[in-house]
Amino acid sequence: MRIAVFGVGGVGGLVGGALARNHSDIYFYARGEHLRAIRENGLSVESYNLGSFTAHPKLATDKAEEIGVVDVLFIASKGYDLRGVCKAASPMAGPNTAVIPLLNGGPLSEILEGFLPPCIVADGIIRTHSHIEKPGQIIHETGGTVVFGMRDGSRPLLLSETAALLNTAGIPTTVSEQILVDCWIKYVSMCGNSTIHCWFDADTGGVRKTPGYETVLQAIWQELVSVAAAKGIILPGNIVEDLVQSYTKASPDTITSLYRDLRNGKPAEQTELFHLIGRILQFGKETGVPTPYHQAVFEKYAS
């Protein structure tokens, strides 16, 4: 099975590195200094549960045509330029290629289908904290579980075979028949957390010092849950309470990557602001569900 990973950052580096250690037909699409380092020395992975190792793909390149059509294509890039990502990745996707996105933003298969040539487009999520420490090196701190599946609930054999490879490589993976719900659960958590940090302009500790912060947290997450329900996605009834409870126990220095990027002055269009918070505004307009907290945060940072 030929497998390509597009975007060898924290997520793609973890998944691709684990696969390359156990499977010989793995290809990396990377760029810049990161690509140069991988070509010269392989991809170094330091993982809390997989140990430290160096992975050597069959080929690392920034030209998808050098890889050609693969059986499975993981897309693990940032989500703020999906059209550009799909254009760059298209030479790797054929009619029988399973494309599995592992990036933020909720279900993405319908969007990707509009940008990719005909192929088998799944939805997917990964729950992990991992990042590029320096070119050629990935640090994996926590998590690492993967869930993917088809939005119609079907179960192509290729997805089951891919899950088996990932499990063998040490990445716990499940093929889900309710992947839309799985994606929305993660999206609600991530988008809500980013909106919270941007609203309060603070890390978790700073948010918790604000009197009555729990009321704001509940309102932000309820906006997301209400939009999901209006789109026909019924999430667990206690999800808002669980998220608020989890927030009260999180490390005080916790922030999201979106808030970090915006706080550090990164241009909004080069962050996931439009992909995460902008998407919920779009969904809210489509369903008639008000999203005032998300709207306020979006307007604050998008201008």
User: Is 271 in the same domain as 160?
Assistant: no
Contacts of 140 (CB under 8 A, 6+ apart): 10, 14, 45, 46, 47, 48, 49, 50, 128, 129, 130
The CATH number linked to 22 is 3.40.50.720
Domain identity same for 96 and 229:
no
Query: Are residues 168 and 198 both part of a single domain?
Result: no
Q: Tell me, what's the pLDDT at 50?
A: 97
> Helix, strand or coil for residue 55?
strand
Residue 31, phi-psi category: left (phi > 0), alpha (psi -120 to 50), beta (remainder) = beta
Same domain? 15 vs 153:
yes
Which of 124, 143, 177 terminates a domain? The answer is 177
Among 177, 205, 224, give the residue marking a domain's end. 177
Residues 27 and 173 in one domain: yes
In this prediction, residue 15 carries a pLDDT of: 98
Residues 164, 39 share a domain: yes
According to the model, what pLDDT value does residue 164 have?
97
The pLDDT value recorded for residue 131 is 92
Using 50 as the pLDDT threshold, list the residues of the chain that sit under it. none
- 62 and 7 within one domain: yes
pLDDT of residue 182: 97
pLDDT at 105: 80
Number of independent structural domains in the chain: 2
142 plus 199 within the same structural domain? no
Range of the domain at 141: 3-177
Closest CA to 225 of 273, 195, 189: 189
Strand bridging mode 123-134 / 26-29: unpaired
Q: Identify whether residues 148 and 164 lie together within a single domain.
A: yes
* pTM score above 0.85: yes
Whether residues 169 and 212 share a domain: the answer is no
Residue 181 is predicted with a pLDDT of 96
| CA atoms within 13 A of residue 97's CA, in its CB half-sphere | 26
**Residue 211 sits in the same domain as residue 169:** no
Residues 171, 219: one domain? no
* Residue at token pair 């990502």: 85
Q: What is the pLDDT of residue 35?
A: 98
Q: Rounded to an integer, what distance in angstroms lies between the CA atom of residue 36 and that of residue 52?
A: 20
Q: Which of 152, 177, 202 is the last residue of a domain?
A: 177
